[in-house]
Amino acid sequence: MAVGVFDSGLGGLTVLDAVSKRLPDVPFVYFGDNAHAPYGVRDADDVYNLTTAAVERLWEAGCDLVILACNTASAAALKRMQESWVPKDKRVLGVFVPLIEALTERHWGDNSPPREVAAKHVALFATPATVASRAFQRELAFRAVGVDVEAQPCGGVVDAIEQGDEILAEAMVRSHVEALLRRMPHPDAAILGCTHYPLMQHIFQDALGDGVKVFSQANLVAESLADYLERHPDMLGSGTDSMFLTTGDPKKVSNKATQFLKRRIEFQAA
Ligand code: DGL
């Protein structure tokens, strides 16, 4: 009954941590495509090819349901995968929708027509590929009217986080926030649209100021997955073991992951 969690690298561990705390009896198989991270600077075809290869590996590990804990893959590849690639007995879900449902104050899975919501000025921080896809604005338009979104492509932040360079990552976050605030001085809410960014959430909040509500994905995805599995218990796959797979060097990736999650994580070669 395992569920797969995919990211280009380590960022999805923020989601893995939250889903495994929320659903302690479910085994999770994590796949980090560290050899090919970051995805945020790749084109859509490239992201699609890498993501489908990783998801196939998770199916092999007995996960019929895979969460793309990567906004870049959710934005650049998920729609194409769902439309023409995912077989009928499998599911691949992204991380955008739970975030937008929370921002627009909806119950999970509520597909009623778009309506006015409290947040009127929303700052979106994401990778260049996610921003270029406009997937966030597309999904938001299905659910809300009259929301002004200003998006900041945060080049370099994922690289700095993957390299474990917190000082560089912090400097980059502060400069991306400043750049956005020059264009939208008073956002009501900010979306951290990359699963690496919760690791820098306190810096985003500090740079944005206390008046801005910062939405980050991990707990929202965990709640929405718990709700989904209650409605679709048949989607728990045949796998029984939790594991961490990587396309990178398992030793190096394990050390960095351990540093991030502050508990020992052992990756094995995918
Ligand atoms: N953490 C991923 C995301 O949410 C991947 C970023 C990247 O690989 O550039 O977008």
Residue pair 221/95 in contact by the 8 Å Cβ criterion: yes
CA 127 centroid distance within chain: 11
Catalytic, out of 29, 47, 63, 70 = 70
- Cα–Cα distance measured from residue 127 to residue 83, given in angstroms and rounded to the nearest whole number: 24
Residue-wise pLDDT for 7-50, tens only, equals 999 999 999 999 999 999 999 999 999 999 999 889 999 999 99
CA 101 centroid distance within chain: 14
Please give the pLDDT value at position 204.
98
36 CA from centroid of ligand 1 (Å) = 11
Active site residue 70: yes
Please give the pLDDT value at position 100.
92
> Phi and psi for 186 in degrees, rounded to 5?
-130, 70
Q: Provide CATH 3.40.50.1860 ranges for the chain.
A: 3-94+218-269, 97-215
| pLDDT reading at 61 higher than 90 | yes
> Phi and psi for 7 in degrees, rounded to 5?
-150, 160
Q: Which of 140, 209, 144 is nearest to 180 (CA)?
A: 209
Residue-wise pLDDT for 179-201, tens only, equals 999 999 999 999 999 999 999 99
Domain 97-215 fold is Rossmann fold (3.40.50)
194 CA from centroid of ligand 1 (Å) = 5
The CA R_g of the chain, rounded to the nearest whole Å, is 17
Please give the pLDDT value at position 88.
93
Architecture of the domain made up of 3-94+218-269: 3-Layer(aba) Sandwich (3.40)
Cβ neighbours around 189 below 10 Å, total: 20
pLDDT band of residue 162 (cuts 50, 70, 90) is confident
- Max mean pLDDT range (136-140, 172-176, 217-221): 172-176
Residue-wise pLDDT for 100-127, tens only, equals 999 998 888 888 999 999 999 999 999 9
- Cα–Cα distance measured from residue 42 to residue 181, given in angstroms and rounded to the nearest whole number: 27
Please give the pLDDT value at position 107.
86
Closest ligand 1 atom to 194 CA: 4
Going by alpha carbons, the residue nearest to atom 2 of ligand 1 is 70
